[in-house]
Structure 1
């Protein structure tokens, strides 16, 4: 079919090869995080076709990735350091390797400026250093910030992390809140039934994180801050009505000291301070519902490469019965606006 839009995929993963050696050391340690064992313990050790494909593709920033993009008709990938990135490491290691990963990604973007864009990896373990790395990454041509949800069980709703929000708002660059496996004190019921990963656990944990940020008053403190969450907004658009009702009721009842009145309703922050991507959800009803709730200028395309690399899904989304202008927003212009990309 003919199309008048580019396909910009906005949640695409990469990892420097040396990161896997560092991950192996973590896995071989005395008490590795159980979610990390479930995630990368599987991918790095399984002989399955899925695991082998993902490990092979994550570290490739050259011809193979470009060929996969061409095969699926993807014009540009916006890449980010795969979860959990550097957030599994001690603070010194995390700060140092975030720089290494950003240097490698920035070089790939320089080599392929019309095909690749990249987000800045930071180490929340040291918020002031993370803020400095945002500035450095932008100077190298990266755009957007990737944070892989919680950092060893700690959440960005804690004000000690808010230097990161301040830096992103000041730089007018978005933060992509990407899933991580649930932390140690949350994951066991998910592990028991194999629901800890992308099938369900990722969305539950990341949706919780986004709600913690909203209800902590982050957007009252940083009203121009923009964030991005994937997988149809980790289901939050579908909860919007109930979130508004129960947040207001909870504030009125003084039930929790941690739940305070906000300047706006939770759903207002979803509409005004969040973009969402459809990563991993090639489903027209969900996409249209989210456009209706959040606005057609707030929902954008992602493939979730290499974790979900399915050409047929691109064809399915191309065929959506959708206004041509909204489809172009979905595939192209929302990403250009959110990530401040050169306009095609």
Structure 2
């Protein structure tokens, strides 16, 4: 059974050098060292061998967090350069790689233009966003042109975690040692609340009321929000949305495991959203573990053959076939 993993990351030296300008505000780059750094930068035989070892046939490549979100006007040219780079890799190995565009979110109109170019001219399958851009949340009206473009093109936007703002980190995620603070505010917990809240904001800002066919993807089994849908549904009492909150979850959201290979989380997601809105991912290289783990997780799921195919590749191919 074909297995397509849709949240698989890379990093270029040009982006890494640009990040150095924001290192004081965003310490995420400290997480990219050693074997992780080497695997992020390699999209060649070594990556293909590890894909084969874990049982993944296709990776959908995306620039790792925080992507270009913390950069200024230089992000416009860097986005074009990065997306051309992804497209060239896909062109050389189309049976093993697809790609998400990186966007210059500092310049919203340019972001919409770059999304259109990346999809129409380069054949990329959507875009990877990292939620907030500096102080501006993703639901800001400046980005509604981007949402219109994504809906019109029929492609998904993946909201990937990034580190919370420094003021938030100082209040909620500090007080220990440097590495504990960093881990707590990123992969320990902070990333996941940050990304989940961005989707909730899209709902509350009525983005999906204006763009009802816009499709969002969240990793890590929905970045916490699927486990609080009962509480989020209570927002119906005070909001003036066109539909109940849970309808937006079931009609505008897809979720993927990001290497959190938990049968319990899979079943919880299916109970809420159904088998048509689950996608597969391994969060390479961050969650890579040897031993055929990705393939083993798929094969161990108590799903029918049809539903396993949906999870493994069919839902993804249906999602991107509308463009």
Question: TM-score of the superposition, structure 1-length normalised?
Answer: 0.88
Q: How far off its partner does 1:165 sit?
A: 0.4
Query: Contact 1:144–1:175 (CA<8 Å) still a contact in 2?
Result: yes
> Where do 4+ consecutive residues of structure 1 move more than 6 Å?
none
- 1:190 matches 2:178: no
- 1:126 matches 2:107: yes
Q: How far off its partner does 1:26 sit?
A: 3.2
Q: Residues 256-311 of structure 1, C-alpha deviation per residue, up to 9 Å, x if partnerless?
A: xxxx4100111110100011101131000110110121010101110000111024
* 2:255 equivalent among 276, 294, 299: 276
Name the residue aligned to 1:337.
318
Q: How far off its partner does 1:248 sit?
A: 2.2
Q: How far off its partner does 1:153 sit?
A: 2.5
Structure-2 separation of matches of 1:179 and 1:337: 25
Q: How far off its partner does 1:41 sit?
A: 2.7
Gaps of 5+ in 2: none
Query: Contact 2:258–2:280 (CA<8 Å) still a contact in 1?
Result: yes
- 1:26 matches 2:14: no
Q: How far off its partner does 1:341 sit?
A: 9.4
**Superposition map of 1:91-170 within 5 A:** 92-138=73-119, 139-170=121-152
Structure-2 separation of matches of 1:21 and 1:238: 38
Secondary structure of the residue that 1:61 maps to in structure 2?
Answer: coil
- 1:228 matches 2:207: no
Name the residue aligned to 1:66.
48
Name the residue aligned to 2:65.
83
Structure-2 separation of matches of 1:52 and 1:337: 37
Alignment size in residue pairs: 313
Structure-1 separation of matches of 2:240 and 2:144: 19
Structure-2 separation of matches of 1:136 and 1:173: 13
- 1:202 matches 2:191: yes
Structure-1 separation of matches of 2:174 and 2:57: 37
Q: Residues 232-262 of structure 1, C-alpha deviation per residue, up to 9 Å, x if partnerless?
A: 00021111121112x023x1xxxxxxxx410
Query: Contact 2:79–2:103 (CA<8 Å) still a contact in 1?
Result: yes
* 2:285 equivalent among 275, 281, 306: 306
Q: What is the RMSD computed on CA atoms of the aligned residues?
A: 1.5
Name the residue aligned to 1:242.
231
* 1:212 equivalent among 181, 184, 201: 201
Name the residue aligned to 1:178.
160
Secondary structure of the residue that 2:9 maps to in structure 1?
Answer: strand
Structure-1 separation of matches of 2:174 and 2:311: 34
Q: How far off its partner does 1:21 sit?
A: 1.9
Name the residue aligned to 1:256.
none
Q: Residues 27-62 of structure 1, C-alpha deviation per residue, up to 9 Å, x if partnerless?
A: 2xxxx21xx21x11342xxxxxxx311100111111
Secondary structure of the residue that 1:337 maps to in structure 2?
Answer: helix
Gaps of 5+ in 1: 44-50, 252-259
Structure-2 separation of matches of 1:226 and 1:192: 38
Name the residue aligned to 1:47.
none
